[in-house]
Structure 1
Amino acid sequence: MHAIAVSRPGGSSALEYTEVPDPEPGPGEVLVDVAAAGVNFIDVYHREGRYPIPTPFVLGSEGAGTVSGVGPDVTGVAIGDRVGWQGVLGSYAEKAVIPAARAIPLPDDLSFELAAAVLLQGLTAHYLTHSTYEVKTGDDVLVHAAAGGMGLLLTQMVKLRGGRVIGTVSTEEKGKLAREAGADDVLPYEGFAEAVRELTGGEGVHVVYDGVGATTFDGGLASLRPRGLMALYGAASGPVPPFDPQRLNQAGSLFLTRPTLVHYVAKREELLARADDVLGWVASGALKVRSSRYSLADAKKAHDDLEGRHTTGKLVLIP
């Protein structure tokens, strides 16, 4: 089968479109014919070696397709089932093996492309808005990169919960997309902390959702009201340098968390409950998903576009 493999960590040139042996499902695993694979910043971190993985490996951790084989000791998943997954390495391929316990049943009326475009980011947006900080009616919320795949989903979920969204974007075109998703106010990155204070009558926001990292972190802290929470869920612009926790005290007894999805879907019951919400909203039209498709062989271009901030919404590879 064809896959995108990494033999040595590095830039996008490290992505190799090559032939590899078909994987075989082991105990508790299923084989899936991949119809679509999601492209995420964690894939970039894996490719670069920021999150080290023994080489060679097949990249990608999110996808959707049809079960074509079942290993021993599998229950609840059968050949022919339509499933999606996230957090399973090896998804940039024509076939992938995933643990049956991580297989998420897909609604019949939901396309594979939409499923691959929404699962990882949709589940992330869900835990951020429903668990890390439970957005309440009237809350002021700052969403960075509001026109990106995560930002658009976060914006919509905050609005579903009755919050007010202040979004940051890099261009006027992206600002328009953020507003279409429901953002109440849209700001450029330059000077956003001061603008947030003005928009909130000097009080600041209740929560900041930051997947950008280094370039927005200080301004995000400055945008919070006393006892506000910073959810730093990513580092697209680079990692945040070490800092003195006393800053949190001085800025108003702030909270800071660096959450990750795996701890919010550790049990299958929680995984399926969050997925039911997200996929149900997508199927009903309550949650809109914007995506751009690339062929599997064009994974390098997809990574270049993602890292260059030339995209809006989610990128999906089609084998």
Structure 2
Amino acid sequence: MLDPVHSSSYLRNPGLVASIRDLLRVIRNTRRHYKEQDHYMQNLLGTCPDGVSQYFTSRFPNLFMEVYEFIYENWKEEEAFRKFFQEGTLEDVKLGEEEEEEKKKDWDLIEVEVGTTVAAFYKRRPVRVRCFVPSPEIENQISILTKADDHANILRLYSSKEKQEKSIYCVEPWICTLTELVEKKKLSEVDLWTTDGHPLPVLVKLIREVVSAVDHLHDKEIIHRDLRPANIMIATKGNSLVAKVNDMGVAFNSADETLLKLSLESRESGEPLNLMMKEWLKLAKGIFSL
């Protein structure tokens, strides 16, 4: 295991390093063994313990990790080794801290005030929790998102509940709205236009994503009715910005007559709701097909 020319000089007993166990003992007792060596070996190894440690590290680069993993897999619960593993690896410690932080911010545990949006976790996913006074509009928002959030450019709804006369729901997180992005209130380093006023590819991509989301809504016979930059959320995927359509509180859903009545109850018309809805859907689809 050691260089033959070194082993007989460094170790008085040639058979001392006949096993990994004995080699580890030599490393553990470096100072004592180092003092027993002649000046030639001490000069060869360098200082103690740094020089000796460097020698063994260069000779057996995987020794310590192999031994560590073997003991961890087979004997980590033994009394002699338990103390070395009770804190876990650095990654285990960090993971544990993250899990504890996530538990503290679990969306079911945190307190949210009406009219606020807070960061939290839902089943270890980062989310935004929103809280409102119960209303038909909020009920409509949750219902529409439930039906239509199976699209990459519609804000995903994870869960909702009513608690202490509050309507609370959690959705995927976002960075800012399209309004804030355009007005450079957020992500000011992102340029959307060329110097002569033409849209850059990042803006073209975001607009295409909005159109794709609206087309998806129309396929499900849903009209947003409040589509504006303030209701387009900007999220990230890797290094890219992604548009997410949100705020469906006044949206139409022709497949759900109760939701239609919510949005049309103030309108007086002799036309049947479904007939009116179909005509409006045709108009909206025509506009966005341009």
Considering the TM-score relative to the shorter chain, is it more than 0.5? no
Larger helix proportion of the pair:
2
Larger strand proportion of the pair:
1
Under a length normalisation based on structure 1, what TM-score does the superposition of the two structures give? 0.20
Under a length normalisation based on structure 2, what TM-score does the superposition of the two structures give? 0.22
